[in-house]
């Protein structure tokens, strides 16, 4: 019933009136008639909550009221511009490139997390200023200060952080890099750790159904990462990090502008952990021994006169992990009962190309082409079990953008081709397969910034295993009054579950693997199919002359088919298709408020109702807290003329009780209670900025010293029938301190 009410509300929204005066224009990268539009530039009224972001062609349209007359335009790497506007008009702004980043600091302070009032989609943009509030060593660790994403440990061995949104884990998210699918297939378990934090320029988090342009796999939302650009990144950047548990990292960026059109960047990341930690004295490493080398070469080309822009990336990664018992030595103990251990070795090569052309005489019309290739190889063993997977992937997307009549009516259309070849071995069983798909899409957008904006998309895909299917998605935004934005959305998502790559924690146990085949095309299982419905309301306000906003979200994900991962029998893990109901309901309220000058509060409460019909009955999702509370406080001293200042950040996560998988059939010493205890997790960081070139930071994680007592069941007998590392409901590592530096010129 809830979903029909939501659809009815969204269907009625366009009936409300919509006319208003506005300021329209285009933001360009230089003077001249053939300058190139800047996509993603911020345009906002000073001292207001009213702002927009330019589209792919650099165009914008922002409501005009007599209350505000100072319009600010900013873009990373360019000097900000301030205009006095006294009437609705059409304007053309050419920003000047800048090697000084004074303006960038201003933009980051204002828009560390940006919520747009005018987009039909519920998108949260996280920029580099927010990422610097924590160590943020990789993408998986980039969400600790953001309540939109939940971060948990996936198991008791690897220390890998798993993200969740709307109560669903990352396989149900479409994770892209510059709108090209990136973390999927073989990379699902560890792929988030393969993007270093310093490479990230911004992150766009879309709740609910995403755009049909980016494919059909998104079910609960999309996370898109924008990488730093060689043209606008610092010429030299060096970041060092170390923590008390023996983890060391070094990041270096080297960028150079070769000609007026060509720029290139070389980005090198390395991390290493050789120190053995066993704080709970169970004989198992609390965090893996690790060694990673990650190198990317990035090229940027732009010809403003002819309307061309392009990015080309080449990357190589080598990642090695050793987990298991403290005394495990791979040279002598591998595949023996001397000690239980595991090694996970990953080698990855990927390359991507983005090519865009803006028609010089028709700046609202453009053509884009995206393509990528990756080869991901993982060789691993867990005790006596081996798991090897090679995943070769090819993806291409051709997109044409134009208008219908005027710039309020826009459309995108194009075709997509994808190929995935899996060479997968689980012990001695071969699960190799090839997936191929081709699809076409059409997306229409209507923009009337005062009252209504909407996006309606449809794509049709033919997949050799999923068949031919249609993916509709719809988003609408209605502004009932000033600084208010009501959104609604619905859409379908479909995907093939890679059950072993997505659930590698199962190998860290003696559970038997049971696949209940339904004669499906993927592991004998049918593909997953779900609909997502949601409403969201954003309201800006001023209280005691300080700005703030409040957001309320409610989303429902309703599975028509799902691959159930059943952990309820402690002696096995079962995979089977849904027979009954499965849904994820998510409610969130979030408040952002400037308590004092330069002291900002962000707080939220989330409630999840995620239930599934298992073979044993309808149960709440295990290891998911139904109640979560979040607080973040950030304070910065006023920056001096040379850029020096102090920055302070504190984050509290209050995590409610979690239902634990049933262990009653275990011997008494290996049984767990039905629910875990709630706990509070605190993180903090202090940053001293000495100048625009040098800063150092000191931080602590898990300052409340929360630790799970028994993350490894049967640790005293790892080759026995009750060994299990999959039931992790709280941190394993205790209090941890870290320090680092950043140098840039």
Other residues' Cβ atoms within 10 Å of the Cβ of residue 403: 14
Residue 10 has pLDDT above 80, yes or no: no
Answer with the residue of higher pLDDT: 450 or 704: 704
pTM of the model: 0.85
What tens digit of pLDDT does each residue of 128-149 get?
A: 888 888 887 899 888 988 899 9
607 pairs with which residues across the strands? 587, 627
Residue 671 has pLDDT above 60, yes or no: yes
Residue 259 — very low, low, confident or very high, per pLDDT cuts 50/70/90? Answer: very high
Average pLDDT rounded to a whole number, residues 508-531: 95
Residue 18 has pLDDT above 60, yes or no: no
Cα(433)–Cα(455) distance, integer angstroms: 36
Confidence at residue 100, expressed as pLDDT on a 0 to 100 scale: 34
**Which structure tokens are listed for 571?**
């002696």
Confidence at residue 78, expressed as pLDDT on a 0 to 100 scale: 67
Confidence at residue 243, expressed as pLDDT on a 0 to 100 scale: 95
Cα(739)–Cα(697) distance, integer angstroms: 6
Cα(723)–Cα(718) distance, integer angstroms: 5
Residues contacting residue 384 through CB under 8 Å, at least 6 positions apart: 335
Confidence at residue 191, expressed as pLDDT on a 0 to 100 scale: 94
**Which structure tokens are listed for 313?**
């990336």
Confidence at residue 76, expressed as pLDDT on a 0 to 100 scale: 55
Cα(561)–Cα(580) distance, integer angstroms: 9
Residue 44 — very low, low, confident or very high, per pLDDT cuts 50/70/90? Answer: confident
372-376-379 Cα angle (round to 5) = 180
What tens digit of pLDDT does each residue of 59-77 get?
A: 888 888 777 788 888 775 5
| Exposure b/e, 546-584, CB count within 10 A at least 16 = b | ebbbebebbbbbbbebbbbbbbbbbeebbbbbbeeebbb
What tens digit of pLDDT does each residue of 684-699 get?
A: 999 999 999 999 999 9
**Which structure tokens are listed for 246?**
């023996």
Residue 106 has pLDDT above 50, yes or no: no
Residue 280 has pLDDT above 50, yes or no: yes
What tens digit of pLDDT does each residue of 658-669 get?
A: 999 999 999 999
Answer with the residue of higher pLDDT: 302 or 32: 302
Confidence at residue 40, expressed as pLDDT on a 0 to 100 scale: 67
Residue 188 has pLDDT above 70, yes or no: yes
Cα(694)–Cα(681) distance, integer angstroms: 30
Cα(312)–Cα(609) distance, integer angstroms: 43
Confidence at residue 2, expressed as pLDDT on a 0 to 100 scale: 53
Other residues' Cβ atoms within 10 Å of the Cβ of residue 529: 18
Average pLDDT rounded to a whole number, residues 239-243: 96
**Domain 19-94's class?**
mainly beta
Same fold: 19-94 with 226-744? no
Residue 1 has pLDDT above 50, yes or no: no
Residue 9 — very low, low, confident or very high, per pLDDT cuts 50/70/90? Answer: very low
Give me the architecture of the 226-744 domain, per CATH: Beta Barrel (2.40)
Confidence at residue 273, expressed as pLDDT on a 0 to 100 scale: 95
Residue 676 has pLDDT above 50, yes or no: yes
Residues contacting residue 669 through CB under 8 Å, at least 6 positions apart: none
For the chain, what's the residue count?
A: 745
Residue 4 has pLDDT above 70, yes or no: no
Percent of the chain with pLDDT over 90: 72
Closest by alpha carbon to 263, among 29, 577, 34?
A: 29
Largest pairwise CA distance in the chain: 80
Q: What is the mean pLDDT of the chain?
A: 90
Q: Where are the domains of the chain?
A: 19-94, 226-744
Cα(479)–Cα(537) distance, integer angstroms: 10
What tens digit of pLDDT does each residue of 283-327 get?
A: 999 999 999 999 999 999 988 788 899 999 999 999 999 999 999
């Amino acid at each position: 019933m809830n979903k029909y009410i939501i659809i009815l509300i969204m269907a009625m929204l366009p009936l409300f009136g919509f006319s208003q005066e506005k300021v329209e224009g285009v933001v360009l990268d230089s003077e001249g008639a053939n300058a190139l539009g800047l996509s993603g530039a911020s345009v906002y009224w000073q001292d207001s909550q009213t702002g927009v972001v330019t589209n792919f062609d650099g165009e914008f349209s922002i409501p005009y009221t007599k209350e505000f007359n100072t319009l600010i335009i900013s873009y990373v790497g360019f000097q900000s511009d301030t205009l006095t506007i006294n009437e609705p008009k059409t304007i053309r702004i050419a920003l000047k490139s800048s090697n000084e980043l004074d303006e960038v600091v201003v933009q980051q302070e204002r828009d560390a997390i940006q919520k747009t009032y005018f987009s039909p989609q519920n998108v949260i943009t996280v920029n580099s200023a927010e990422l610097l509030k924590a160590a943020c060593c990789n993408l998986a660790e980039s969400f600790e200060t953001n309540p939109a994403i939940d971060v948990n440990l996936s198991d008791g061995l690897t220390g890998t952080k798993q993200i969740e949104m709307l109560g669903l884990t990352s396989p149900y998210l479409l994770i892209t890099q510059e709108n090209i699918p990136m973390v999927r297939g073989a990379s699902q378990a560890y792929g988030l750790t393969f993007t270093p934090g310093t490479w990230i320029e911004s992150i766009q988090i879309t709740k609910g159904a995403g755009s049909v342009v980016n494919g059909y796999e998104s079910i609960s939302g999309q996370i898109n990462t924008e990488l730093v650009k060689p043209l606008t990144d610092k010429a030299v950047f060096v970041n060092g990090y170390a923590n008390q548990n023996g983890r060391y990292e070094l990041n270096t960026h080297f960028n150079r502008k070769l000609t007026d059109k060509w720029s290139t960047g070389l980005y090198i990341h390395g991390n290493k952990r050789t120190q053995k930690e066993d704080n709970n004295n169970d004989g198992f490493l609390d965090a893996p021994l690790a060694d990673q080398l990650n190198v990317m070469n990035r090229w940027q080309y732009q010809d403003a006169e002819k309307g061309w822009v392009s990015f080309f990336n080449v990357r190589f990664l080598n990642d090695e992990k050793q987990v298991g018992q403290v005394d495990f030595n791979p040279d002598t103990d591998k595949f023996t009962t001397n000690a239980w251990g595991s090694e996970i070795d990953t080698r990855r090569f990927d390359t991507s190309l983005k090519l865009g052309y803006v028609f010089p005489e028709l700046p609202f019309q453009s053509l884009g082409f995206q393509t990528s290739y990756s080869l991901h190889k993982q060789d691993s063993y867990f005790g006596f079990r081996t798991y090897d997977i090679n995943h070769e992937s090819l993806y291409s997307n051709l997109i044409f953008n134009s208008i219908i009549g005027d710039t309020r009516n826009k459309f995108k259309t194009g075709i997509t081709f994808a190929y995935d070849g899996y060479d997968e071995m689980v012990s001695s069983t071969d699960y190799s397969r090839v997936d191929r798909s081709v699809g076409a899409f059409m997306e229409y957008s209507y923009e009337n910034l005062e009252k209504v904006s909407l996006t309606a998309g449809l794509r049709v895909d033919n997949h050799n295993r999923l068949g031919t299917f249609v993916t509709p998605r719809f988003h609408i935004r209605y502004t009932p009054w000033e600084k208010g934005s009501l959104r609604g959305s619905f859409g379908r998502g479909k995907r093939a579950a890679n059950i072993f790559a997505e659930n590698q924690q199962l190998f860290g146990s003696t559970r038997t693997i049971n696949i209940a085949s339904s004669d499906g095309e993927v592991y004998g299982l049918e593909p997953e199919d779900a609909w997502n419905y949601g409403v969201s309301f954003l309201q800006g306000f001023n209280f005691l002359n300080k700005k703030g906003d409040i957001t309320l979200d409610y989303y429902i994900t309703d599975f028509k088919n799902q691959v159930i991962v059943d952990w309820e029998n402690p002696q096995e893990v079962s995979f089977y298709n849904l027979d009954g109901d499965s849904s994820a309901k998510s409610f969130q309220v979030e408040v952002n408020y400037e308590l004092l000058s330069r002291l900002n509060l962000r707080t939220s409460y989330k409630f999840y109702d995620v239930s599934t019909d298992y073979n044993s009955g309808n149960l709440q999702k295990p290891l998911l807290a139904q109640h979560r509370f979040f607080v973040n406080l950030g304070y910065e001293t006023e920056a001096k003329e040379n850029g020096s200042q102090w920055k302070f950040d504190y984050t509290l996560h209050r995590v409610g009780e979690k239902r634990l998988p049933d262990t009653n059939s275990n011997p008494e010493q290996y049984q767990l209670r039905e629910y875990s205890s709630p706990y509070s997790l605190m993180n903090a960081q202090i940053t001293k900025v000495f100048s625009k070139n040098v800063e150092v930071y000191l931080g602590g994680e898990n300052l409340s010293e929360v630790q799970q007592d028994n993350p490894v069941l049967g640790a005293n007998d790892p080759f026995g029938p009750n060994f299990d590392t999959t039931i992790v409901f709280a941190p394993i590592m205790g209090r941890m301190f870290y320090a680092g530096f950043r140098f840039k010129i």
